[in-house]
Amino acid sequence: MTGREKGVPTIVLLIEDDPYDAELTMAVLGEIQSFRCLAERAGTLSAGLERLSRGGVDLLLLDLGLPDSLGLATFELAYVQYPDIPIVILSGLADEEMAIKTVQIGAQDYLVKGNFDSNHLARAIRYAIERHRIKAELKSLSLTDELTGLHNRRGFLTLARQQVKIAHRLKKKLLLLYIDMDNLKWINDNLGHEEGDRALKEMAQIMSATFRASDLVARMGGDEFAVLGLEEGEADFSKIRQRLDQKTGLPGKNSARPYRLSLSMGFVQYDPERPEDIEELLARADKLMYEEKSLKKSRKG
């Protein structure tokens, strides 16, 4: 068993640019007999990350030396954007020390190219998926918000600190949104806390559907949420705002709620040239969110 239902194929994505190594590994994957394995291949990290964004991948086989990324940075970029995908590193003998480092910081295993057959690879895949599943279950007990299923504040801070460190090392920008659901108190006071919980769950679903799978989405407590993600291209807060406003402005398809969900937001950018820790970023975003919330109240008054 590999963590999927019996009879459902295990989807393995190989990110490898060398034609010979790729052909050899794909052939070994095709020889696996102990479970159904469907293998896909990407030749660059960017192409592999794009494939991961479409979902459905059970395990990533990752070469560390790619045309668009080298060494530890290759693993870090994949791991920080897709922490839910178990990763097995493929290394040459000269890269074995680097491969061991990746296991120490989150990879499930590493294999030396040319030194494994289908039985060895099948075991590595099975064990990597199972170890990753157990690790995720244990982590979720302390890092997940019970009501919404999003990360809780502790989970967000734990994972966000890691993202900030990696972004600083790789000279990448990050975007942080701090969001307050404006009318939760009114819902609780007038419609009851059960309806308030339903509103929070719906808000969590809207946010999960709005942002990328690689973005870190959390309920920070009460009616406050946060989103952190690597910037891809120019940040356009107005488009993000528009998407959220469209989805929160009307009652949900399966909801009979007679009210609009309304949001106040603060939006900041992490610049590796002017490094800040996650607490400083949150403080700036929270201040901007509060200013917007106060402006709304003054207009009503």
Pairwise CA distance, residues 203 & 298, whole Å: 25
Pairwise CA distance, residues 203 & 208, whole Å: 9
Q: Considering 109, 223, 271, 286, which one is annotated as catalytic?
A: 223
Pairwise CA distance, residues 156 & 181, whole Å: 18
Q: What residues does 60 pair with on adjacent strands?
A: 13, 87
C-alpha 275, offset from chain centre: 22
Q: What residues does 116 pair with on adjacent strands?
A: none
> In a 10 Å sphere around its CB, with 0-12 CB exposed, 13-18 middle and 19+ buried, how is residue 129 labelled?
buried
Could you confirm whether 223 is annotated as catalytic? Answer: yes
Pairwise CA distance, residues 218 & 227, whole Å: 6
CB atoms within 10 A of CB 252: 15
Tokens 């045309």 locate to 67
List the alpha helices (DSSP H) in the chain.
Answer: 19-30, 45-53, 72-81, 96-105, 118-143, 153-170, 184-191, 193-210, 237-248, 278-300
Which of the 8 DSSP states describes residue 149? S
Are 293 and 180 in contact by the 8 Å Cβ rule? The answer is yes
* Residues annotated catalytic, as ranges: 223
